[in-house]
Chain A
Amino acid sequence: MIKSNDVMAYGALGVLGILGPILFPDYTLSIAYLWMMVLMACTWDTLGGQMGYNSLGNITFFGVGMYVSAIVQISFFYDGGVGEYTSAMGSIKPEFTDSEYFLGLFWGILAASVAGLVLSVLFSSFMFGLRGPYFAIGSLGLAIAAAELTITIDYVGGASGISMPLFPGDIEFRSTFFYMLCFGAAVIAHFLLRWLYSTQFGLAINAIRDDEDKAEAMGIPTLVYKRIGWGIAAFFMGGIGAIAGNMAGFIDKEVAYPVPTFGIFMVAMVLLGGKGTLWGPVLGAIIFHVIKETTWTYLLNLQWVALGLILIVNIVYFQQGIMGWLQAKFPERFGIVVDPSTTQVGSRQGGDGQ
């Protein structure tokens, strides 16, 4: 995309990001979820769009991150640890001071991100032997297995979940605080990926997408790139999981591993906006979220039908998504042009190929 469009997009998103919760305070948490979905879409696209590995299991890192942060936040300042806390089934409500809460949250988010990263490295050691649909289903299996495993662990409350520490502040401040976290995380993720895609890393994962065997034959250390790509996604998914858990206030299997909702949404958003593009996931997430919230409000009971319909139209008529469609329609605006200034003999010779 050309530069001036980028500036306009950042301007518009910046205004929405900063003024949104000020102008529409009732929707602060809803817009926070919007940024969370932007982050999910962008990080899913690293593997799914840019590298061509459709992971249906990124939600695993989200859930694991959520639980890891809960363990860290509670164990840090409650002597009994998570085990005692959870076995009391919510009857223990330890009072955290403000600084304890925020320090715990900080370490919780950090630990959750690192946990996601470590887990992805572990998964990488066997998952990247799989390609195409096998990788997709295999990664989905990871998410389901992680969810089922979690409820067998009594230490983290088993099936009855964990009540997260209470936020020390009023409800408006709570919303604004988590809003800022979500917005900040999405901004960091976007700019990190934007930079990454401008380096050799971006080209390498595109090459893996287009022809992995060729990339291998050209000496590209494909496994290294695949690990880094998934690691980045896992790092952010772990962190946002920690934030989401605290926003929800109570976590269990359903909150931590929303495979049929967020797990699928993140794929749908990228397909809608245009996979393998910088702006596609952002655009897709915004449109998807707005439609989702609107239909939830005005078409209650039919919201899933509406979402399904959008998916079908997207898949059948706009497989490349909005950005992909724009690129096919207006290639010159994306710099895909024959350079008219070159008329050397050599150039023409190449142009005469069959």
Chain B
Amino acid sequence: MSDPIINVENVSKSYGGVHANVDITMQVERGSITGIIGPNGCGKTTLFNSIVGYHPIDQGSIQFDGQEISKLRVGDIARLGMLRTFQQTRIYSKMDCVDNMQISVSHRPDSKSSIFASRKGEIRDRAEHLLEFVGLYSKRNLISGDLSFGQQKLLELAMALMNEPKALLLDEPTAGINPTLINGLIDRLRRANEELGITLCVIEHNMRVIMNLASHIYCLSNGHMLADGKPAELQNDQRVIDAYLGGH
């Protein structure tokens, strides 16, 4: 029954003397929502960076969709269909929202986008539809850098969805978003997973969010894989409680 779309095996990564990731093994099941938790500085973002090719790994193997990707670069991996969003939101800040969306179409070889394609028609429709999906339709003509932080975060999510990736890695999608909006965001992430069939892997500090969202969670601590399991199992795991959740 196991069908991992992302398969990380014994991956290690050091920065000088800092062992950010040590012998990490994890799988993200196709079609699932998988969570990664752990204290600040435990190596979550380093692991993301390793997976999407931001830096070379010291050892180990990373496969995406059955293909070894640990030697590929960021752009190549993105064009295979795996994207990530950033902890510090990154959008094209001098372009308006619709333009941000339109340039986020898939650049995979099988996609229909071409360098000199017109920006009208199907691409624009889909861009506007997704902006509505994240609640930014009325602001579609505004320069994206002028949006609030929370709106930029939603725009970044919509841009990732525009790309129709097979897998999407989200680095703290709810950080800095107000509580009422978080519910909407969870709902949208779940719908993206169910309706668009996008596998999600989410780094998250908000326990309520991740316990609700993910079907399987990995917990990192000090660069090591501490534990993994279903949300309920992890909540009762003494090691996780000691390292991260706290004793109350």
Which chain A residues have a beta carbon within 8 Å of chain B's beta carbons?
196, 198-204, 206-207, 209-211, 213-222, 224-225, 228, 276, 335-344, 346-354
Contact = CB atoms under 8 A, between A and B. Distances in A.
Nearest to B120: A198
A211 B176 CA distance: 21
A336 B147 CA distance: 12
Contact of B91 (A214, A339, A341, A351): A214
A11 B94 CA distance: 30
B96 A336 contact: yes
A325 to B, nearest CB: 15
B153 interface: yes
Interface residues of B, number: 57
Contacts of B180: 349, 352
Interface in B95-126: 95-96, 99, 102-108, 113-119
Contacts of A206: 92, 94-95, 99, 103
B184 interface: yes
B181 interface: yes
A346 B137 CA distance: 9
Given A203-B102, A352-B178, A354-B176, A347 B78 contact: no
A216 B74 contact: yes
Given A203-B99, A214-B90, A217-B52, A346 B132 contact: yes
Interface stretch (B4-12, B57-65, B138-146): B138-146
B199 interface: no
A343 B135 CA distance: 10
Given A200-B114, A203-B119, A351 B75 contact: no
Given A346-B135, A351-B135, A354-B148, A199 B119 contact: yes
A196 B116 contact: yes
A347 B119 contact: no
A221 to B, nearest CB: 6
Contacts of B84: 217
Majority secondary structure, B binding face: loop
B141 to A, nearest CB: 5
B192 interface: no
Nearest to A276: B94
Interface in B138-171: 138-143, 147-151, 153-154, 159, 163
B124 to A, nearest CB: 11
B55 to A, nearest CB: 13
Contacts of B103: 200, 203-204, 206-207, 215, 218, 220
A323 to B, nearest CB: 13
Q: Describe A's contact surface by its main secondary structure.
A: helix
A341 B128 CA distance: 14
A253 B104 CA distance: 45
Q: Which of B116, B119, B135 has the most CB of A within 10 A?
A: B135
Contacts of B99: 203, 206
A282 to B, nearest CB: 20
Contacts of A225: 115
Contact of A338 (B92, B115, B138, B150): B138
B148 A219 contact: no
A219 B78 contact: yes
Interface in B76-99: 78-79, 83-84, 86, 90-96, 99
B93 A210 contact: yes
A271 to B, nearest CB: 16
Given A350-B134, A353-B181, A213 B90 contact: yes
Nearest to A199: B116
B90 A339 contact: no
18 contacts: A199-B119, A203-B102, A206-B94, A206-B103, A216-B75, A217-B74, A222-B75, A276-B94, A338-B139, A339-B140, A340-B138, A341-B138, A346-B134, A347-B139, A349-B135, A350-B135, A350-B154, A354-B150
Contacts of B107: 218-221
A219 B106 contact: yes
A341 B140 CA distance: 12
A201 B184 CA distance: 34
Contacts of A217: 52, 74-75, 78, 83-84, 86, 90
A199 B115 contact: yes
Point out which of B92, B96, B134, B153 has the most chain A C-beta atoms below 10 A from its C-beta. B92
B136 interface: yes
